[in-house]
Homo-oligomer: A and B are copies of this chain.
Amino acid sequence: MTSNPVVAIVGATGAVGQTMLQVLAEKNFPLKKLVPFASKRSAGKKIEYKGQKIEVVALEKGCFEGIDIALFSAGGSVSEKYAPQAASEGAVVVDNTAAFRYHDDIPLVVPECNRADIFKHNGIIANPNCSTIQLLVALKPLHEAFTLKRMIVSTYQAVSGAGATAIQEMLDNTKAILNGENFENKKFAHQIAFNALPQIDKFMEGGWTKEEMKMVWETHKILGDENIGVTSTCVRIPVTSGHSESVYAEFDRQIEISEVRNLWENASGIKVMDDPANSVYPLASKAVGTNPVYVGRLRKDHVCENAINFWCVADNLRKGAALNAVQIAECLVEGK
């Protein structure tokens, strides 16, 4: 990979695409040229990158020629159709959708967890699901030290994970309730304002949602261990951005809180916020717009001396999507 690549963003006008542009600019990513792609509907619009206006281009045959890295975030069907084309036209694809995550020959990567897998790619690298990324950033250093056996996770997920239209629906639904007006939800199956919806993505076998199963499959693939027991319940709450997670994690041996804190304080991508006396703990409202995975409310379990409980928060559009993809692109450029 060249040290100053031509980078394409597919889905440049969406919530994640816009965040990718911000993250690339903040990192001063060494790109030679930025090429924003979007649907035919958005083609011709202009996006802004470092003060420059760049015209959005429609996807078509041959459009990835000359592109070194293509960051995809325009939905599963777009990735299915265009990611293989991009790879065959010479780009390395980092795909933010679920289209390729579970293919055996496609790496699924959180750089803090399995950076080396990036270099096993055959043209496509998959970015994991938002709720899995932040969880595994927090658990990886503990897994290395104590071996993770079991986790039980309940999520408190923000609406931006469902896209820009979902954010607007939550805001409109909220205003309607405050004004005592009727409101018909379209993006969500039920009222999202002032509510908690225990459904994200579609239902599958056994009553699990696909979002819940993603956490199982992706944990196994990223940590390379199918013996880790993963149970999750995924819930959408009326928060704009910033996913929170309540985590119970059990390890192979007895662990002390001081060991966990020490590992976290020395780990990459993690910020410990845990000062109960001063009501300091991770919060979605404070994580939004920032890059770390925040951990806190750390407690040794009452019942199992090999287990801890904690609260984990990250910006789902950043570490949960755009930032993780850009980090993978950085690794590609660095070649390690």
Contact = CB atoms under 8 A, between A and B. Distances in A.
A235 B309 contact: no
Interface string A272-304: 001011010111110000000000111111111
Interface stretch (A108-116, A118-126, A239-247): A239-247
Contacts of A238: 194, 237-239
A285 B237 CA distance: 12
A99 to B, nearest CB: 24
B154 A196 contact: no
Contact of A203 (B178, B189, B277): B277
A208 interface: yes
Chain A interface category by residue count: 35 or more
B237 A196 contact: yes
A198 B311 CA distance: 8
Contact of A233 (B171, B175, B230, B297): B297
A297 B231 CA distance: 13
A230 B223 CA distance: 29
Contact of A229 (B156, B235, B274, B302): B302
A208 B48 CA distance: 46
Interface of A is mostly: mixed
A207 interface: yes
A174 interface: yes
A53 to B, nearest CB: 26
B246 A190 contact: no
* Copies of this protein, total: 2
Contacts of A235: 156, 244, 246
B285 A195 contact: yes
A303 B149 CA distance: 11
A59 interface: no
Interface string A186-200: 000111001111110
Contacts of A156: 156, 196, 235, 237
A152 interface: yes
B198 A244 contact: yes
Contacts of A283: 190-191, 195-197
Nearest to A303: B229
A245 to B, nearest CB: 9
A62 interface: no
A189 B156 CA distance: 19
A46 interface: no
A97 B162 CA distance: 40
A206 interface: yes
A231 B303 contact: yes
24 contacts: A156-B237, A171-B178, A174-B178, A175-B178, A178-B178, A190-B279, A190-B285, A194-B238, A194-B284, A194-B285, A195-B283, A195-B284, A195-B285, A198-B246, A206-B302, A207-B274, A207-B298, A208-B299, A229-B303, A231-B302, A231-B309, A235-B246, A237-B237, A246-B246
6 nearest interchain CB pairs? A229-B303, A154-B154, A154-B246, A203-B276, A189-B279, A233-B246
